[in-house]
A and B are shown apart, each in its own frame.
Chain A
Amino acid sequence: MIAELGLAVLWMAAALAVLQLVAGALALRPQGAAMRGVVRPVAVMQGVLVALAFAALITLFITTDLSVKLVAENSHSAKPLIFKIAGTWGNHEGSMLLWVTIMSLAGAFVALVEKRLAENTLLATLAAQAFVSLGFYAFLLLSSNPFARLPQPAPEGAGLNPLLQDIGLAFHPPTLYVGYVGLSIAFSFAVGALITRDVGPAFARAMRPWVLGAWIFLTVGITAGSYWAYYTLGWGGWWFWDPVENASLMPWLAATALLHSVSVLAARNALRAWTVMLGVIAFSMSMVGTFLVRSGILTSVHAFAVDPARGSFILALLAIYIGGALLLFALRAGTVTEGARFAFVSREAALVFNNVMLCGILGIVLVGTLYPLLTEAFGVKVSVGPPYFNPVSAIFAFPMLVVMAVGPLLRWKDDRGGRVAPILAVPALVALAAGGAALAAGVRLLPTLGLALGAGLAVASLLPLRGRNLRRTPLPIWGMVVSHLGLAVAAMGMASESAFSIETLAALSPGETRQVGPYALTLDRIDPVAGPNWTALQATVSARYAGGEADTLTPQARVFANPPGTRTESALKTRWNGQLYVVLGEEAQDGRWQMRFWWKPFVPLIWLGGLLVGLGGFLALIGRVARDVKRLVAIDKIAFRRERQGR
């Protein structure tokens, strides 16, 4: 019953999306004025219905209704509740429903609260949002119905795979999803603005919180994903330039560029066409990433269900939406009037520079990700890895770090380099000192530059606060400072990991000790241990930092029975100045055991920095939203007063 209800509600929501599109399109014509009042309520209703459908699916998973195919294939009555709920979106159909739900709820929210934008632009935006949603409704209802029933109920669900019952796996994908889909609102705003040719500060201010919100989720999602890969894969690396990782990085790069150009547009009414284009590109990258991952066109270390037919469907959607939006851009952007001008040395120019650098990195990543596919068209098989991505993206990233240090100190519109030079003397000296010390220690070129620029930027990122009353400093300024500081911290962590990591591979007998960096590591013993659904060999390793007290680490090599599989559980010991990472391998000959040790100085800074970047975004978002709410309240008051006076 609930399944049928969910499906019915989903169809109704799709019908409302059609209505929203048609009414929105008609309302833009002079003779369609009657339709104007329809669009907003329809958008809200659509959001409510989809949320109901999603709630229905969650209910089916919680009650483990085994007559529903999706539940039977992906859940199990013995699963803990939290994983039953997470199972809702842990599969293709459910995740597409989550996608549509976020999309429609975001549309509903815009329809409810957006008051600044010219009404026509808003109508065009909601129509565009409905148009994009429709494609995904079609996908869901025609080829991936989550509510399909089995001819007879399954006796028990199939999804009790303990490997997938991981809290990180349960919440990491939806976090990224919120980010991907949140960008759809920016996309619709951009399309709406192109239709009405109304690109200006009001448009930018309406779009900014959405970009900011989506960007925060992407930042946190990517950071968490990187840490998850680091500690579960047992390979000691934190970023593999795998297609799945690249698929999440590309929208982030585009959204970061968009976030900054939107700020220029809001503050200075410049970069109009550019901002619109980035709005289109950011969500396009979300869809491209999802397509690349789902279609199985690129293989990856991460597991994903692959289905060429579904791939074709998503590809058709890509062609329609991205192609359509870019066509509209090509036709209309020339007629969007040029924005305000600025000088070579100005904050705008710095932001433009970094926008171009971000797009450069985006291009590098996209080309590198697709290159194996391209060469295969000519019959040559290649794989592209860190030797390409690291140095080539660094060529763009390093100048960007420099300009990031300078940009926030520059004035809008026009400034003199001579004015900011003395302010920047301190960070420049810090950078030189850090770089010099690294070179003296024999660090290679790229990590040296990373350390120097990271250290310099860390200092420089705080400079916008100088001379300010910290209590009165607006939250968006704090947000910028914290985010930029976070990036500097992350850059230092990355450079340090690459420069100072010590890796040792050894075959040890119990009782034997090996020195790894500052740590003396003793393999005490190997024991068999057992968990609820696995057995494991567990090594007990005593780790003494610089001759101090011993810490005990217990890495395991686990063997799962049902389904069969093996997994290494690495053991980590985090200190303020780095992390020890221990992996147990196989038994070598003569009673020795293969062990792999890493000492990674300052590696946690990578994820700490990532979280700071996200926190900065969060502060900025709070600041912006608080200001918007104040404005809304003020507008309401004025309207109320006018009404009273009118009487």
Chain B
Amino acid sequence: MSETVSPPAKKPGLALWLPLLLFGGFLALVVYGLVRPDNREVASTFIGKPIPAFSLPPASADRPGLSNAQFVGGKPRLLNIFASWCGPCAIESSQLAQLAKAGAEIDGVAIRDRKDDLARFLAANGNPFARIGQDDLSKVQIGIGSSGVPETFVVDAHGVIRHQHIGAIMPEDVPVILQKLKEAEQ
């Protein structure tokens, strides 16, 4: 073993690029993972589709229950998926009140809630809802393609979902939602 003049200095040079190469492969894979459409739980595939048929019993003593038929006819409405046990739902309550004041009609679906908890929640945070349906099995939630609470849907006068807002409605979202309601009138 006495090769004194040989060119191995070049070979390791190439191998040193290997980690970078592997990392490049990793990057390509995860970039694909990030842009892959189904990773965005965001856009519900239900936009542009009619809301599923459902009929929910009233969740609160002073408001009627909710069914899909009530969305047909009249003007576009907001459908708010919420629960008294959900923190962000309390945060968006003043924005909901603001929307109601601006003329939006809001229906609520209370997810896996209890009547007395809900009454306490509405007393504390206000009740902007025209109707509140009680959804103990998350049936409507799943049916409408919502992945969590709170979520708010703009439903037009034909009962077709036009827009989905995921998470709490913050003050800056209010004009956006009003705009979507207006668009849904056409």
Contact = CB atoms under 8 A, between A and B. Distances in A.
Chain A directly contacts chain B within the complex, with at least one CB pair under 8 Å:
yes
Interface of A: 72-73, 150-152, 154-159, 273, 277, 280-281, 284, 288, 291-292, 295-297, 306, 308, 311-312, 315, 318-319, 322-323, 326-327, 329-330, 333-334, 370, 373-374, 376-377, 561-564
Given A288-B26, A334-B9, A154 B91 contact: yes
B49 interface: no
B57 interface: no
Main secondary structure of the interface of B (DSSP, over half): helix
Given A281-B19, A329-B19, A330-B17, A373 B33 contact: yes
B1 interface: no
Interface in B1-50: 9, 12-13, 16-17, 19-20, 23-24, 26-27, 29-34, 36, 39-42
Interface of B: 9, 12-13, 16-17, 19-20, 23-24, 26-27, 29-34, 36, 39-42, 83-88, 90-91, 94, 112, 114, 117, 124, 171
Contact of B13 (A152, A291, A322, A334): A334
Contacts of B26: 288, 370
Contacts of A329: 16, 19-20
29 contacts: A73-B87, A154-B90, A156-B90, A157-B87, A158-B88, A273-B16, A284-B23, A292-B30, A296-B39, A297-B34, A297-B39, A308-B42, A312-B34, A315-B31, A318-B27, A323-B23, A323-B24, A323-B27, A329-B19, A329-B20, A330-B16, A330-B17, A370-B30, A373-B29, A376-B36, A561-B114, A563-B85, A563-B86, A564-B112
Contacts of A159: 87
Contact of A297 (B9, B30, B85, B86): B30
B124 A322 contact: no
Nearest to A160: B87
Nearest to B117: A562
A41 B36 CA distance: 46
A319 B85 contact: no
Which label, helix, strand, loop or mixed, suits the secondary structure of the A interface? helix
B85 A308 contact: no
B23 A326 contact: yes
A205 B13 CA distance: 27
Given A151-B171, A296-B39, 4 more contacts: A159-B87, A292-B30, A377-B29, A561-B114
Contacts of A333: 16
Contact of B23 (A72, A151, A292, A322): A322
A73 B30 contact: no
A308 B88 contact: no
Given A73-B87, A296-B39, A297-B39, A327 B20 contact: yes
A322 B30 CA distance: 14
A306 B148 CA distance: 12
Given A152-B94, A158-B90, A308 B16 contact: no
A412 to B, nearest CB: 22
Contacts of B13: 334
Contacts of A292: 30
Contacts of B34: 295, 297, 308, 311-312, 315
B91 A308 contact: no
B85 A562 contact: yes
Given A297-B39, A334-B12, A561-B114, A326 B33 contact: no
A288 to B, nearest CB: 7
A298 to B, nearest CB: 8
Nearest to A292: B30
A308 B30 CA distance: 12
Contacts of B87: 73, 157-159
B9 to A, nearest CB: 7
B69 to A, nearest CB: 29
Contact of B20 (A291, A318, A330, A370): A330
Nearest to A158: B87
Given A297-B30, A370-B29, A72 B91 contact: yes
Contacts of A308: 34, 39-40, 42
B27 A277 contact: no
Contacts of A326: 19-20, 23
A158 B91 contact: yes
A297 B29 CA distance: 10
Contacts of A319: 27
A564 B16 CA distance: 54
A326 B17 CA distance: 8
B14 to A, nearest CB: 9
A135 to B, nearest CB: 16
B88 A564 contact: no
A368 to B, nearest CB: 14
Contacts of A564: 85, 112, 114
Contacts of B117: 561-562
Contacts of B41: 306
